[in-house]
A and B are shown apart, each in its own frame.
Chain A
Amino acid sequence: MSTPSENRITAVNSRMETLLDIRNLEVRFRLREGIVRAVHGINLRIAPNRTIGVVGESGCGKSITAKAMLQILPSRGKITAGEMLLAPRDGGPATDLAKLHPKGPEIRRIRGGDISMIFQEPMVSLSPVHTIGNQITESVLLHRPASKPEALDRAIEMLRLVGVPMPEKRVNAYPHELSGGLRQRCMIAMALVCRPRLLIADEPTTALDVTIQSQILSLIRRLQRELGMAVMMITHDLGVIAETSDDVAVMYLGRIVEQAPVKELFRNPKHPYTQGLLDCIPRFGKGRDQKLTSIPGSVPDPFTTVPGCPFHPRCAKRIAGVCDRGVPPLLSKVGPEHRVACVLYDAPRPEAAS
């Protein structure tokens, strides 16, 4: 099926290439109303040159996971268990991000240097009182041995790379002088100027028009090819996942409920929640008589603890007496690379479930 050289490459990839290994990560929030477990023991492996898509409805814990990785959780949130092992740049032992102090020097070196993040709303995430150039060079001066003029050159070069026209002029512009698409490009330039090994993109195109969205997604793809970085794409839009990701993790209420390579997930979704998400996307070409399927109910508020499988109250395929008891673990039941947390696939005859 595949050529010998391809075989060798995949073998090499699977042996050595894990950039960030998240194991059993748990994040809790201590609020007046009680303790909320926002992330409930998730496992993710992020590899260089690959894009992992994390998808789920609002409140599923996808942004909190990303913030935990950079130790920028809101003050009431805490990592209460698990580890996040970041492979070192050159040999040596891995760093456990979960153990680092949120204000310590190590995590500061990593933020922006090894792991960068871009956010949904570029206007809120950029400083309105500093020029674009100032904001980009700040990161260079912090992480790299560079003089101010050198840093400015790098900023201009980076702006050119992300497709900002007239970068020599734009470097002196303030964010309010730019359009939404240009702002998002500047934010990407800021995130990538120190050549991070992992880019976390948290809903990077949700606030943009479809035309600009398509430009930004293709830009991220191109930069990934050129710079070889890993990308973690967080979104609620399965269309964005389909266009960008290699592997996908579907989250629901702080847990990963299904994980698979992108084509496998779209062709062969197994978890009823994933199936529901795919069904409710309005698709082209079906016209007006198409009644959209929707997932009944909504994401429960985080204080209610659902016994058993977190999705069972909304699930059409729930089995009384089974789904409301234990939480199904995420296991490879349907294929070596396809993991799903659902009892439907536990049976001795897995094909009976579809």
Chain B
Amino acid sequence: MTKPLLEVRNLKRYFPITAGFRRKVVGHVKAVDGVSFQIAEGETLGLVGESGCGKTTTGKLVLRLIERTEGEILFHDNGSVIDLAALRGEELRRHRRHMQLIFQDPFSSLNPRMTVYDIIAEPLKAHGGLTRKDIQDRVKELIQAVGLNIEFMPRYPHAFSGGQRQRIGIARALALNPRLIVCDEPVSALDVSVQAQILNLLKDLQDRLGLSYLFIAHDLTVVENISATTAVMYAGRIVEMAPTETLFRHPKHPYTETLLAAVPKPDPEFREKEAVPKGEVADPSSLPPGCPFHPRCPYAQDRCRAELPALRAMGSAEHTAACHFSEGLALKGIESERNE
């Protein structure tokens, strides 16, 4: 691993559940419950899980769009380490320019009343210090960097297709030369043909600019394609994390196996060979005791119903999983190069 850029330690976010006239707090939704990970410079961490597992909340916490309940968000900046969670005001603003966000829905994330030029120029104006000429040059450069035509600058978002809008969103995110981009489901609203274009663009930009990505997605094939390391979240916790290839080939948590098996394979010969996963997505406001996955787990035993498993190393320090029985299970990952 190269130098770490972002280090998250034991991050928690609890949302209170209130009841009655006095709004008394009767419980907590543990949306993110003790998440730790590292992202190295120029690397991508993929964060996968079903809806409601806390992956988007984690992304927002890292950017401090919402406040943490507990934990540290350490940002490595030229040798010094800053805890983003403790910053306020001007100082926070200064460090935030290193981190940007790309959204899922390219239709609602661009202001319909602003031109493409204004959308991309906005962060440049907000962080100041540039002349009008500088801004113009930078916007042109950005538009070309994401594969659009500079003639598009005076147009409004409605004139563009989903893929083109997503490129505009990426140009906006790149405007301030960030070091980390949180990509929250950046391709799940796009057609497959366009999805491939955007993924290739994100990889190109990473190679050219040395960006780090926190890549949040529910589509495992997409995550496999872009991430060096993948973390699987369930009910607010990371249940397995490993280098992507290891995780996909040799999963150590039954939930990872379930997710991998559920992806529809683009090959009619494989139809119905895999077991259909059972149960519903976990409800973080009322989790079962013990391992939160046990009601859906085909391998659950008594211990799983009573005791919450901790994340522990599986063979190598890079591969961690939170399951009592990992060692005894022969879990099925994906086979390699099956389609060739």
Which residues in A have some Cβ–Cβ distance to B below 8 Å? 57-58, 179-182, 209-215, 217-218, 221, 236-240, 242-243, 245, 262-263, 266, 276-278, 280-288, 290-295, 298-299, 301
- The list of the 10 closest CB pairs from A to B, nearest first, reads A239-B264, A294-B196, A292-B196, A280-B196, A282-B221, A295-B193, A209-B50, A285-B336, A214-B262, A57-B191
Would you call B266 and A239 a contact (CB within 8 A)? yes
**Interfacial residues of chain B within 215-272, with CB under 8 A of chain A in the complex:** 218-222, 224-228, 244-245, 248, 258-272
Would you call B259 and A211 a contact (CB within 8 A)? yes
**A322 to B333 alpha-carbon distance, docked (Å):** 47
Question: A211 contacts which chain B residues (CB < 8 A)?
Answer: 50, 258-259, 262, 277, 281
**A234 to B163 alpha-carbon distance, docked (Å):** 21
Would you call B337 and A286 a contact (CB within 8 A)? yes
Question: B270 contacts which chain A residues (CB < 8 A)?
Answer: 242
**A130 to B245 alpha-carbon distance, docked (Å):** 48
Would you call B197 and A242 a contact (CB within 8 A)? no
Q: A236-B191, A239-B264 are in contact. Are A58 and B162 (CB under 8 A)?
A: yes
Would you call A287 and B161 a contact (CB within 8 A)? no
**A238 to B267 alpha-carbon distance, docked (Å):** 9
Would you call A58 and B191 a contact (CB within 8 A)? yes
**A57 to B336 alpha-carbon distance, docked (Å):** 28
Would you call A210 and B194 a contact (CB within 8 A)? no
Would you call A212 and B192 a contact (CB within 8 A)? no
Would you call A283 and B276 a contact (CB within 8 A)? no
Would you call B193 and A280 a contact (CB within 8 A)? yes
Question: A212 contacts which chain B residues (CB < 8 A)?
Answer: 50, 280-281
**Interfacial residues of chain B within 275-291, with CB under 8 A of chain A in the complex:** 276-278, 280-281, 283
**A262 to B227 alpha-carbon distance, docked (Å):** 32
Would you call B164 and A281 a contact (CB within 8 A)? no
A-B contact pairs, 30 of them (CB 8 A): A58-B162, A179-B283, A209-B218, A209-B281, A210-B50, A210-B263, A211-B258, A211-B259, A213-B262, A214-B261, A214-B264, A215-B276, A218-B272, A236-B192, A238-B266, A242-B270, A243-B265, A266-B266, A284-B221, A284-B334, A284-B338, A285-B338, A286-B225, A287-B224, A287-B245, A288-B244, A292-B196, A294-B196, A298-B194, A301-B161
Would you call A182 and B280 a contact (CB within 8 A)? yes
Of B163, B221, B227, most A-chain CB atoms within 10 Å: B221
A239-B263, A284-B263, A294-B197 given; name 5 further pairs at CB < 8 Å: A58-B191, A211-B258, A243-B265, A287-B224, A294-B194
**Chain B residues touching A, range:** 35 or more
Would you call A282 and B225 a contact (CB within 8 A)? yes
**A242 to B272 alpha-carbon distance, docked (Å):** 10
Question: A281 contacts which chain B residues (CB < 8 A)?
Answer: 192, 221, 266
Would you call A237 and B192 a contact (CB within 8 A)? yes
Which residues in B have some Cβ–Cβ distance to A below 8 Å? 50-51, 161-164, 191-197, 199-200, 203, 218-222, 224-228, 244-245, 248, 258-272, 274, 276-278, 280-281, 283, 334-339
Q: Pick from B163, B199, B276: contact of A282, CB below 8 A.
A: B199
Q: A181-B280, A282-B222 are in contact. Are A242 and B263 (CB under 8 A)?
A: no
Question: A214 contacts which chain B residues (CB < 8 A)?
Answer: 261-262, 264, 274, 276-277
Would you call A179 and B280 a contact (CB within 8 A)? yes
Q: A282-B221, A285-B336 are in contact. Are A243 and B193 (CB under 8 A)?
A: no
Question: A209 contacts which chain B residues (CB < 8 A)?
Answer: 50-51, 218, 281
Question: A237 contacts which chain B residues (CB < 8 A)?
Answer: 192, 264
Question: B272 contacts which chain A residues (CB < 8 A)?
Answer: 218, 221, 243
**A277 to B338 alpha-carbon distance, docked (Å):** 18
**A213 to B274 alpha-carbon distance, docked (Å):** 13
Q: A282-B225, A299-B161 are in contact. Are A287 and B193 (CB under 8 A)?
A: no
Question: B203 contacts which chain A residues (CB < 8 A)?
Answer: 291
- Distance in angstroms from A260 CB to nearest chain B CB is 11
**A238 to B203 alpha-carbon distance, docked (Å):** 24
Q: A214-B277, A281-B221, A282-B222 are in contact. Are A292 and B268 (CB under 8 A)?
A: no
**A242 to B196 alpha-carbon distance, docked (Å):** 20
- Distance in angstroms from B258 CB to nearest chain A CB is 6
Question: A181 contacts which chain B residues (CB < 8 A)?
Answer: 280-281
Question: A236 contacts which chain B residues (CB < 8 A)?
Answer: 191-192
- Distance in angstroms from A207 CB to nearest chain B CB is 9
**A262 to B264 alpha-carbon distance, docked (Å):** 14
**A95 to B300 alpha-carbon distance, docked (Å):** 55
**A182 to B279 alpha-carbon distance, docked (Å):** 11
Would you call B264 and A243 a contact (CB within 8 A)? yes
**A236 to B192 alpha-carbon distance, docked (Å):** 8
Find the B residue at minimum CB distance from A283: B339
- Distance in angstroms from B217 CB to nearest chain A CB is 11
- Distance in angstroms from A60 CB to nearest chain B CB is 9
**A275 to B220 alpha-carbon distance, docked (Å):** 22
Would you call B51 and A242 a contact (CB within 8 A)? no
Would you call A238 and B262 a contact (CB within 8 A)? no
Q: Pick from B200, B224, B261, B268: contact of A263, CB below 8 A.
A: B268
**A298 to B163 alpha-carbon distance, docked (Å):** 8
- Distance in angstroms from B52 CB to nearest chain A CB is 9
Of B272, B280, B339, most A-chain CB atoms within 10 Å: B280
**A214 to B275 alpha-carbon distance, docked (Å):** 9
Q: A210-B219, A214-B262, A284-B221 are in contact. Are A242 and B267 (CB under 8 A)?
A: yes
Of A181, A209, A211, A278, most B-chain CB atoms within 10 Å: A211
Would you call A285 and B266 a contact (CB within 8 A)? no
**A182 to B196 alpha-carbon distance, docked (Å):** 31
- Distance in angstroms from A289 CB to nearest chain B CB is 10
Would you call B164 and A298 a contact (CB within 8 A)? yes
Find the B residue at minimum CB distance from A284: B334
**A295 to B190 alpha-carbon distance, docked (Å):** 13
**A243 to B269 alpha-carbon distance, docked (Å):** 9
Find the B residue at minimum CB distance from A300: B161
Question: A213 contacts which chain B residues (CB < 8 A)?
Answer: 262, 264
